[in-house]
Amino acid sequence: MKSPRPSQPSAVVSRSGRFTEGPSREVARFSQSVSFDWRLWPHDIAGSIAHATMLEKIGVLSAPERRDIVGGLEAIGREIAAGTFPWKEDLEDVHMNIEAALTARVPAAAKLHTARSRNDQVALDMRLWLRAEIAALTGELRDLQRSLVDLGARHPEVVIPGYTHLQRAQPVFFAHHCLAYVEMFERDAGRLADAADRLNECPLGSGAIAGSTLPLDRGLVATLLGFTDAKGRPRLTRNSMDAVSDRDFVVEFGAAASLVAVHLSRLSEDLILWASAEFGFIRIADAYTTGSSLMPQKKNPDIAELTRGKSGRVIGNLVSLLVLLKGLPMTYNRDLQEDKERLFDTADTVRSCVCLTAAMLDHTAVQPAACAAAAKDPLLLATDLADYLVQRGMPFRQAHHAVGALVAFAEKAGRPIDRLTLDEHRAIEPCFEADVLGLYDLSRAMGRRDIPGAPGGRQVDRQIDGWRRRLSVAPPAPPAPPVPPAATAGPRPARRRRTR
């Protein structure tokens, strides 16, 4: 579905004669939000259907009136999904557009806004929208984790240098490096789940600021919209003033999404380095790289670079949201309309980065020869030499010093450390015995890394198996709001699904 183009304002609604048509048009254009909040429409309709159902229960609407309203809303939903709904800029936002269209068709719609304000309506729509986005993003993060696990598992034997300060440090299985990111994205999924749980309270019934004098059944509305706890009990906001002015859930999502973006950015940086001729550890498939307009030989990792770059705007959106909120007096202020573009941009950006990164990883080949050439640097095992001396009773500091002297000797001799003779080892440190030369065997060295969390073969295999088991379990489906059938067709491409 394409983004609607609001038609030109034909007339501005209910302006006093003090305003000429010209400035009014400018004001309408300046203050409209329908050009971006139109995408809340499935949730706006779902909220209105639940509200109408409750109004019938408390006797404000008759059964036929409710039926007409629901039928009208469903018809509007179908038109929006089909792209034929005439969005009007002069009707300001998604709420007014839908209500005006409904009222023009269904007389009873004039009762629909009973005990409801756009202030609690927009708070509701945003919560519903974000709940669905978080569920979708969480599923996409799971796919990304699967891609990382698969990439590591496709190359169980490959060892690379692990780096600190971007200097070679100690050998690790390539899979161990991949699984480090799986851990990061797992924490991200946890933060998103926390945010989703906290936003899962229904604000409808808060009115403009102070609830209503009518005996609304807020619990019914909450239940209909899936704002329930594990036992199916309705979850309601407890303070009408807080409910209409609260955008903490937007900030929380912005913060959790920023951390996702930062993790993606760090992963991108690793991939960019690894794809360079200097490292050569991976090759990204042509479809996920671009060429240079000038240099014929270039193959650039643009997806990773853009993902790294886009993290900047996600972080910027978070800062914008915090600054937006910090000076607002209670309760609703129109400033809050500015939350939407930042929220939508964050969700769209992070979701597309997660999906593209996963797809790129699925089309990335590890280059075992380049990895082996880097990993065979014997200096990566200098710490193993120190551990060897410790096992023979030497204090670690002394062992560290002895191995340092051995490294300096090798450097001076112009030979790799594993080419020094046993006598040369013993000349630096007499505690070295004949078995020391066996320490330089990389595959045995990997076997020695066998405590929980370490990058040794047994541990990494165990981690891969564990993640495979965890990730094959689908995340629990979010509670589905009563959205008309047409509403399920959204503007986003369906989430990539893979079977394993």
Among 80, 122, 251, 314, binds ligand ARG (CB under 6 A): 122
CB-wise, 158 or 336, nearer to ligand ARG? 336
140 is an interface residue for ligand ARG by CB under 6 A: no
Residue 272 engages ligand ARG in binding (rule: CB under 6 A) = no
Chain centroid, CA 339 distance in Å: 18
Closest distance between ligand ARG and the C-beta of residue 93, in Å? Answer: 4
Query: In the numeric block, which tokens belong to residue 97?
Result: 């557009």
The region of 118-126, 135-143, 159-167, 490-498 touching ligand ARG under the rule CB under 6 A is 118-126
Q: Give yes or no: 292 in active site.
A: yes
Looking at the Cβ atoms of 88 and 177, the one nearer to ligand ARG is 88
Secondary structure string (H, E, C) spanning the chain: CCCCCCECCCCCCCCCCCCCHHHHHHHHHHHCCHHHHHHHHHHHHHHHHHHHHHHHHCCCCCHHHHHHHHHHHHHHHHHHHHCCCCCEHHHCCHHHHHHHHHHHHCHHHHHCCCCCCHHHHHHHHHHHHHHHHHHHHHHHHHHHHHHHHHHHHCCCCCEEEEEECCEEEEEEEHHHHHHHHHHHHHHHHHHHHHHHHHHCCECCCCCCCCCCCCCCCHHHHHHHCCCECCCCCECECCCHHHHHHCCHHHHHHHHHHHHHHHHHHHHHHHHHHHHCCCCCCEEECHHHCECCCCCCCCCECHHHHHHHHHHHHHHHHHHHHHHHHHCCCCCCCHHHHHHHHHHHHHHHHHHHHHHHHHHHHHCEEECHHHHHHHHCCHHHHHHHHHHHHHHCCCCHHHHHHHHHHHHHHHHHHCCCHHHCCHHHHHHHCCCCCHHHHHHHCHHHHHHCCCCCCCCCHHHHHHHHHHHHHHHHCCCCCCCCCCCCHHHHCCCCCCCCCCCC
By CB under 6 A, residue 143 contacts ligand ARG: no
- The window from 42-50, 129-137, 240-248, 334-342 that contacts ligand ARG (CB under 6 A) reads 334-342
Nearer to ligand ARG, 36 or 409 (CB): 36
Kindly state the smallest distance separating residue 242's Cβ from ligand ARG, in Å.
16
Nearer to ligand ARG among residue 208 and residue 486 (C-beta): 208
Site for ligand ARG in 208-227 (CB under 6 A): none
The residue from 106, 158, 336, 350 that contacts ligand ARG (CB under 6 A) is 336
Output the smallest distance, CB 33 to ligand ARG, in A.
4
Q: Does 118 bind ligand ARG (CB under 6 A)?
A: yes
Binders of ligand ARG among residues 9 to 48 (CB under 6 A) are: 33, 37
Instruction: Pick the closer one to ligand ARG by CB: 336 or 417.
Output: 336
337 binds ligand ARG (CB under 6 A): yes
Q: Considering the complex, what minimum distance in angstroms separates the CB of residue 338 from ligand ARG?
A: 8
Interface segment toward ligand ARG; rule CB under 6 A; list 313-321, 330-338, 364-372, 425-433? 330-338
- According to the binding rule CB under 6 A, does residue 97 interact with ligand ARG? no
* Separation CA 426–CA 397 (nearest Å): 18
Question: Is 18 or 334 the residue whose CB approaches ligand ARG more closely?
Answer: 334
Q: Does 321 bind ligand ARG (CB under 6 A)?
A: no
| Encoded tokens for 441 | 């065997």
Contacts with ligand ARG: how many residues (CB under 6 A)? 10
Q: Is 259 in the site for ligand ARG (CB under 6 A)?
A: no
Contact between 439 and ligand ARG per CB under 6 A: no
Sign of CA dihedral 150, 153, 158, 163: positive
**Residue 470 CB, nearest approach to ligand ARG (Å):** 39
Check residue 134 for interaction with ligand ARG (CB under 6 A).
Answer: no
Considering beta carbons, is residue 41 or 332 the nearer one to ligand ARG?
332
Degrees to nearest 5, angle at CA 286 with 312 and 305: 10
Nearest-approach distance from CB 94 to ligand ARG, in angstroms: 8
Pick the closer one to ligand ARG by CB: 101 or 122. Answer: 122
Of 10, 16, 165, 443, which one is the catalytic site residue?
A: 165
| Residues in contact with ligand ARG by the rule CB under 6 A | 33, 37, 93, 118-119, 122, 332, 334, 336-337
Enzyme catalytic residues: 165, 292
